[in-house]
Structure 1
């Protein structure tokens, strides 16, 4: 599901031959110990253009952008702004040079208004009265076609509206180069359309956009140029007009053919492994949901609409209202009192480096986090067997680097997610709660995670919580749309009309 419904401005891709880059990366190299994260990066950013940056997990995208945004300093090479060498010691230096970044985790003060957040920390802002602040921000938003109420408080805004505030903060600082890191991860299809139109307006004003995304259909639709980063080096740049298909772009990115499809073979549907009955509380209202063995039920919605509370209530992180959650036929409290380490429930959290793993422990110890009872012999822990099984899982799931003593934080996002998935499937669960299992993963890792989850249907029912509508449509049998703590509809993916119904429900529109 693309959700896109816009027409790109005519002639937008044309660039005069005498145009000079506004920013140039000249041989940037960055090392972390023996690991070379970026190796001689050469890249030009032109005014009025959108350059998409693609690369597998661990390719070096974040390191490269962190140097451009002033968070890291290069070990070799330098950055030029308008032809002059610069050296950023901090992010403030980069902002002063006109470079700003919109991060995935927004940095806003919830109790303040939109206008107050935009002007927070700006010189002279302390003498501006609220009405004048709102007028300034309102005019700026109107200039770029950004729909926002300057007087609204952050706490009352959707995730898409909060992102608009982050963008306005950079525009108010007159940033000329704006970096967006996975900006559509928290947006509805309609909000994605609005964002893209705003980005085009920015380029019409001469601003440069760097767009990082793993959603290839967005890259093809939006970008003027596509730079491919592989193993810390720029492998080449592409014209989106020359891309034949999403699969074509995926293969160029990873250096091999990627199918971008999964085997959705039919499996036998069994008894319910999860039942939620009329749950009210924890910010949730009237939740009724059922997941059966062999079935994938996806929960979709804009981030912050109750998904977190629902996951926590099912997985044991918080106590749900009594007699509302039943797992494998048992009431919630009885299930957790008697549950075993295997043939039970497993949880794949969104926070793979915080909640799912111990960042400073190796793969063996991280395997033991949820499987320890399986290696216990009385008071003793069979560490040697755990090491053998970890080696087998590394090989089976192709986890890189293939060393059992690699620490969690040393793995790329895709490899760490494969390690978490390997550990949890090792437990042979009957219920799997998978929360944003491919968020931030490249197409190759995403394809592998999808395949593993679908294979697991032979032994388990899956509650999939995802912000990726394409993922929901690819994997799920049913899609439950959640809005402000309430499931507004449960739609079968076999119905061709389901695709068109999801977007409005995510925005709270019920026919």
Structure 2
């Protein structure tokens, strides 16, 4: 994965392509950035590291013209510039791929990529599609140009956002957690594209919590903590992930979990011969006390499978039983004894309402616990929300803050805390640690392992290290099928995961 030499070309390092000088930004009582000075150089990949809420996304949103700083200046090639809008930044050659996608769900991939692009009055759909296909092929970011965004997985949507940015031929490219929903193969494709862009003299900013990725791809590293830059260094000066984690968090972090054996209980999920849309003959079962990890390249049926289990899409042919009830009977009547909790990967769209505060977002799935007759016990709900916020380290800790004001990682922690509060017996966890820093990931892994004492957990993740660390069994999906299911202790099968994810049976 380490191809740093590709991007290290000779550039004029005396004048950085971008200089952010004494940038400060506050949102009400929360100071996101405080007197930040940062240089971004052409031909280099600069990694921004920091815990959730450290101010990374805010700082880059300022550079991309999406929000305005309270104080400070931006220099482009040594000259002061002002970006009153995202369009002004784009016109100046600065593009950003955000954690929360900026796509029109009802439009096709091609329409989204070309949306807002200047050109002739008449646009040829065939020419646009041909140009997109060539661009995607050049950077090996495969996606169906005619598919509608609403039909895509989160990983596929991420590729569309990246293609939008590539089409603009920006000189500064900002990637905010771009690998959060990508498999290792997709991540490698993205890294190849990033190295290719850096070798062309472009400046790349890479925001990530995945320390191995930062070590593999970055030329330079800047660490933010509580809105300030606390450390900057060449990547070559960092000896290990452990050292990088210590610099970022301020204490020793070793991402390992103690997976104590748990007695397997009754079956909570049983799927037999499920044919529905892209799903082809799915056979799966899950018992209390175990974690079943679903892995595979995005777009191979994971999303339809999860939507069926969680009641969003009715099953086609085959049987789906939840707590020994048929799918239809389970979702027809609420039971306080048999709770299914769903932690979706789309945390800002499906999991929460951006315009509601944290208390009301907490109540989205827990309101039954706070009702007395027709009355909602709002004060009790607010106290419990505050407890959850403190327990899961959500920042800001103000329960009156709106969901849209939280960083992606903090919003994810809020969703996890809400769903664990319900004491579920079946948990569908879809990319549960995407966008979380290493300390928060460590905490969530611990919560998931503890939860399996009372529940069965279906873990859908693109992070193989996470799947192997947490799961008791692994199921590999490809083309809407389950290629194989095996215990994580089966080292021979574990070594074959890559082939199985490519649809190859060893």
Scaled by the length of structure 1, the TM-score of the pair is: 0.87
CA shift, 1:267, in A, is: 0.9
CA spacing shift, 1:79–1:490, aligned 2, 3 Å:
same
Give the corresponding residue for 2:283.
288
1:200 and 2:201 are equivalent in the alignment: no
Q: In structure 2, do the counterparts of structure 1 residues 293 and 255 end up closer, same or farther at CA, with 3 Å as the change threshold?
A: same
Partner of 1:3: none
Task: Spell out, residue by residue over 1:6-41, the C-alpha distance to the aligned partner (whole angstroms, 9 max, x if none).
Answer: 452548658778532111001111222232211112
Q: Which residue of 1 aligns with 2:501?
A: 506
Displacement of 1:235 in angstroms is 1.2
For the 8 Å contact 2:155–2:298, the answer to whether it is kept is: no
Partner SS state of residue 269, structure 1: coil
Change (3 A) 1:324 1:130: closer
Match of 2:328 among 330, 333, 338: 333
CA distance change for structure 1 residues 125 and 189 in 2, over 3 Å: closer, same or farther? Answer: farther
Match of 1:215 among 202, 206, 210: 210
Q: Which moved more, 1:454-463 or 1:176-185?
A: 176-185
Aligned to 2:117: 121
Question: SS of 2:331's equivalent?
Answer: helix
The answer on 1:146 being equivalent to 2:146 is no
Matched length: 503
Whether 1:59 and 2:35 are equivalent positions in the alignment is: no
> In the TM superposition, what is the alpha-carbon distance from 1:325 to its structure 2 partner?
0.8
User: 1:456 offset after TM fit, Å?
Assistant: 0.8
CA change 1:67–1:376 in 2 (3 A) is closer
**Cα distance in 1 for residues equivalent to 2:298 and 2:271:** 21
- Contact 2:47/2:208, CA 8 A, preserved across alignment: yes
Contact 1:111–1:153, Cα closer than 8 Å, also in 2: no
Bigger mean CA offset, 121-130 vs 168-177: 121-130
CA contact (8 A) 1:114 1:150 kept: no
Could you tell me how far apart the structure 2 residues matched to 1:432 and 1:136 are? 39
Contact 1:298 1:480 in 2 (8 A): yes
- For 2:294 and 2:109, the matched residues in 1 are separated by 31
Q: Give the conservation status (yes or no) of the 8 Å contact 2:114–2:128.
A: no
Q: Does 1:180 align with 2:196?
A: no
Cα shift readout 1:37-91 (whole Å, capped 9, x = no counterpart): 1111211011111101111111111111111111112221111100000001222
Q: Take 1:403 and 1:412, find their aligned partners in 2: how far apart are those partners?
A: 14
Q: Distance in 2 between matches of 1:150 and 1:430?
A: 37
Q: Which residue is equivalent to 1:264?
A: 259
**TM-fit CA distance, 1:381:** 4.3
Q: Contact 1:504–1:510 (CA<8 Å) still a contact in 2?
A: yes
Contact 2:133 2:145 in 1 (8 A): no
- Is the Cα contact below 8 Å between 1:110 and 1:154 reproduced in 2? no
- Following superposition of structure 1 onto structure 2, how do residues 408-487 of structure 1 map, counting pairs within 5 Å? 408-487=403-482
Q: Which moved more, 1:100-109 or 1:494-503?
A: 100-109
1:317-364: CA deviation from partner (whole Å, max 9, x where unpaired): 222236611112121222233442344222222233343334444444
Change (3 A) 1:109 1:451: closer
TM-score (norm: length of structure 2): 0.87
Pairing partner for 2:80 from 79, 85, 94:
85
| Counterpart Cα distance in 2 of 1:226 and 1:456 | 36
Aligned to 1:49: 44
Distance 1:359 1:194, change over 3 A: closer
CA contact (8 A) 1:279 1:324 kept: yes
Q: What is the SS of the residue equivalent to 1:43?
A: strand
- Equivalent residue for 2:35? 40
The residue matched to 1:450 in structure 2 has which SS? helix
Structure 1 gaps, min length 5 = 1-5
SS across alignment from 1:458: coil
- Asked if 1:239 corresponds to 2:234, the answer is yes
Given candidates 3, 9, 24, the residue that maps to 1:8 is: 3
Q: 1:179 to 1:396 in 2, by over 3 A?
A: closer
Question: Structure 1 73/259 Cα, relative in aligned 2: closer, same or farther at 3 Å?
Answer: same
Instruction: Return 194-203 or 412-421, whichever deviates more.
Output: 412-421
Question: Within 2, Cα distance between the matches of 1:430 and 1:278?
Answer: 23
2:489 to 483, 490, 494: 494
Question: 414-423 vs 20-29, which deviates more?
Answer: 414-423
After superposition, the Cα gap between the structure-2 partners of 1:371 and 1:31, relative to the gap in structure 1 and judged at 3 Å, is: closer
Q: 1:362 to 1:45 in 2, by over 3 A?
A: closer
Q: Which runs of 5+ in 2 are unaligned?
A: none
Q: Distance in 1 between matches of 2:358 and 2:110?
A: 44
